[in-house]
Chains A and B, each alone.
Chain A
Amino acid sequence: KAGVTQTPRYLIKTRGQQVTLSCSPISGHRSVSWYQQTPGQGLQFLFEYFSETQRNKGNFPGRFSGRQFSNSRSEMNVSTLELGDSALYLCASSLAERGEDEQFFGPGTRLTVL
């Protein structure tokens, strides 16, 4: 069974630009969550989508948005990039609706904002 895939793996952007990251969950998984990992703030929850609906949202500005498609693939978008948005962005997929089943993480997208 294929794991969670994230594209692209690496990305370099400049301040003010926007970026779209993609996450393909494991087949059959309906929940996709996104996390931002930085040395200073650690791992922080961005949002979760379940069956195309945003179920939960972290404490991030409106520049961070996401969506989920009918095939459960998810995208997150960051507009008007700032230097502080440089981070590793991880997505995780899960089969179940709660924590009974494992969340499987993708390899991450490393975003660098210059």
Chain B
Amino acid sequence: AQTVTQSQPEMSVQEAETVTLSCTYDTSENNYYLFWYKQPPSRQMILVIRQEAYKQQNATENRFSVNFQKAAKSFSLKISDSQLGDTAMYFCAFMKGWMEYGNKLVFGAGTILRVKS
């Protein structure tokens, strides 16, 4: 079974600074996807960034980027120029890549990020 571990229950960062959230996962699969989701106080889950395991290049989306280390099974999220609106719970998630497994996401426990002004 796949597991996702987020070792930082809470983090805080000053506005405009950079913060990195950690995530490790365990799988024997070679074809999979990794995601970071954001859940603000409204509880609406929003996809932040996605990484395909077969791609060596790290994904980036504006101020958000990942450091994907496949051999180490590590998938950290870097948020640059933090903004107050980034305050949320962040979840790391894993999905197997084969069609027969469907769209099942396995989530980590989450990291609460607080951006301070």
The chain A residues found within 8 Å of chain B, CB to CB, are 31, 33, 35, 42-45, 48, 50, 55-56, 58, 88, 90, 92, 94, 97-99, 102-105, 107-108
Specify the chain B residue showing the minimal Cβ separation from A3.
Answer: B44
Taking A33-B105, A48-B102 as contacts, is the C-beta distance between A107 and B44 under 8 angstroms? yes
The 8 sampled A-B contact pairs (Cβ below 8 Å) are: A33-B103, A43-B91, A44-B107, A88-B43, A92-B105, A94-B103, A98-B95, A98-B103
B106 at the interface (CB under 8 A from A): yes
Q: Mark B4-15, 1 if CB is under 8 A from A, else 0.
A: 000000000000
B45 at the interface (CB under 8 A from A): yes
Whether the pair A42, B45 counts as a contact (CB closer than 8 A) is: no
The chain B residues found within 8 Å of chain A, CB to CB, are 33, 42-47, 50, 52, 91, 95, 97-99, 101-110
Query: Nearest-CB distance from A109 to chain B (Å)?
Result: 10
Q: Is the interface of B mostly helix, strand, loop or mixed?
A: loop
Q: Is the interface of A mostly helix, strand, loop or mixed?
A: strand
Whether the pair B101, A56 counts as a contact (CB closer than 8 A) is: yes
Task: Determine the distance from Cα of A40 to Cα of B42 in the docked complex, in whole angstroms.
Answer: 19
Query: Nearest-CB distance from A110 to chain B (Å)?
Result: 8
Query: Nearest-CB distance from A90 to chain B (Å)?
Result: 6
Whether the pair A42, B110 counts as a contact (CB closer than 8 A) is: yes
Query: Chain A residues near B44 (CB, 8 Å)?
Result: 105, 107-108
Query: Nearest-CB distance from B17 to chain A (Å)?
Result: 28
Query: Chain B residues near A103 (CB, 8 Å)?
Result: 47, 103, 105
Whether the pair B91, A99 counts as a contact (CB closer than 8 A) is: no
Whether the pair A98, B105 counts as a contact (CB closer than 8 A) is: no
Query: Nearest-CB distance from B45 to chain A (Å)?
Result: 4
Whether the pair B105, A45 counts as a contact (CB closer than 8 A) is: yes
Query: Chain A residues near B98 (CB, 8 Å)?
Result: 98
